[in-house]
Structure 1
């Protein structure tokens, strides 16, 4: 990725100045918006602000976490609605299950320690995608590849990075985790980035590619990137992106016809009024210049 491309992270709240900054610096940016669903105080302003980025060069990823089941059905119902609203205004959405995160905690884990671990889970796709598009190598995956990949297919996005010096056990056991979708192999397209240290031989590289193709045989391979990790040893770092995976819950009737045209109209209206203001300013300046010219003639 070129140095001009920047990765931004926003969490739970969006301020107008954040979006204004991304729109003002209208270049190739990636914005991750992390959102924990279920809070009734989250209003329509968040989705309205995110929608403003649709006409910009910024790729917007929503990272959505569903609440714990013990928080109650009402909170989960609100979260499901929020998930579909977020999905409609973002270029792509990556979702997490809080209950799945809970399964990975050891007995006696403190709330503070759990929150630190949950943060790491949510930040893992941000780090993976950032590294993928920044890493130069034999075959690069760049900003345009990522943009084309996520816009080609509808549905959620699955992102997972695995590391190891051998992959003797079935790949699905390494990729599967309770806090991410289990339907990743039924997606539409796959993009893979493979990093290898200096002593990895071609047989190991071939084996990991065969395992990937076996597990994801239903999917179309969009692109496979590769790059050297300039370290000794035999180690592979594989990042997988699967698009078009199924949504975790059925879409509520109330979100199927969200009037996004309201956001579109508001954006267009702002642009028109800004142009009108600029026109008025130029008109005033022209009149001022004409007045100065006349004064000089007199």
Structure 2
């Protein structure tokens, strides 16, 4: 049903035999089997791709079960694999959250980098005041903007360019990551832009032990080299001193007296997504042989 309503021209139905085009019934095992059934088609879809972006919601059956399989197939094809996923609302029940964490742990093993957005954070934002359909549409836009930012960072030429090799060096086996965008105006616009970017993600993160950072600085015609370096300096002061930093800079004449920062920080930690719910650690060990170390 969802595939029929999406405007995307290239669509692939998984589980034609297993689910007969229906959902996975909130059973991750069925979602996994559906993806494995379509292994050949999925491998063909990933053929020749340098980067594969995966998006989905964890906690149900299709996304939770299929995303780790698809991520593994994409990496098998040699693609840099980046997943952007949501965790369910806490009031959706312990079982759904348990499924989500099980799926997330498997996805972290298969994808190079995973960016996680807990739906509960939407309740702490202005999004919570919107009508339901608008709220979910805006949540979808957050995922779409994250992909747009990362895809544009290597496709747009600038004064200091970031190419695919640069991006791969940061995102390859990057683990859990954050992505943020911020803008600044006035005399401290570079610092303000970095601060806004670091506080913009819908996730509580610890970045002081991060593994790498990809920074793109965009400003108007009046942006100076010193300001671009100031952005990099500000990021470096807040992350692991041993983290690898790659940055680029470009001019956008429409940004009058503004500086815009887009950054991706990999290898971050978050108690929201790395600290399992009660009983989940036992289930992880029982079903997958995974043990959490507290």
TM-score where L is the length of structure 1: 0.71
| CA displacement 1:123-179 (0-9 Å, x = unmatched) | 2220110110111122221111222212255x3111112123225659445521462
Distance 1:213 1:91, change over 3 A: closer
Q: CA deviation at 1:92?
A: 1.2
Q: Which consecutive unaligned segments of at least 5 residues does structure 2 have?
A: 1-9, 14-22, 24-30, 290-294
1:146 pairs with 149, 155, 167, which one? 167
1:72 pairs with 93, 103, 107, which one? 93
Distance 1:68 1:163, change over 3 A: same
Distance 1:207 1:19, change over 3 A: same
CA distance in 1, matches of 2:110, 2:128: 39
1:92 pairs with 99, 109, 113, which one? 113
Q: Which consecutive unaligned segments of at least 5 residues does structure 1 have?
A: 1-7, 260-298
The residue aligned with 1:250 is 275
The residue aligned with 2:202 is 179
- Does structure 1 residue 160 correspond to structure 2 residue 180? yes
Distance 1:172 1:162, change over 3 A: closer
Rg bigger for which structure?
1
- Higher RCO (CA 8 Å, separation ≥ 6 residues): 1
Q: CA deviation at 1:206?
A: 4.2
C-alpha contact 1:31 1:60 (8 A) present in aligned 2: yes
Q: CA deviation at 1:180?
A: 2.1
Aligned ranges 1:128-277 → 2 under 5 Å: 128-151=149-172, 153=174, 155-165=175-185, 166-167=189-190, 169=192, 171-172=194-195, 174-177=197-200, 179-216=202-239, 218-231=241-254, 233-247=256-270, 248-250=273-275, 252=281, 254-255=283-284, 258=288
Q: CA deviation at 1:103?
A: 1.2
CA distance in 2, matches of 1:202, 1:61: 31
Q: Secondary structure at the match of 2:274?
A: coil
Q: Secondary structure at the match of 1:137?
A: coil
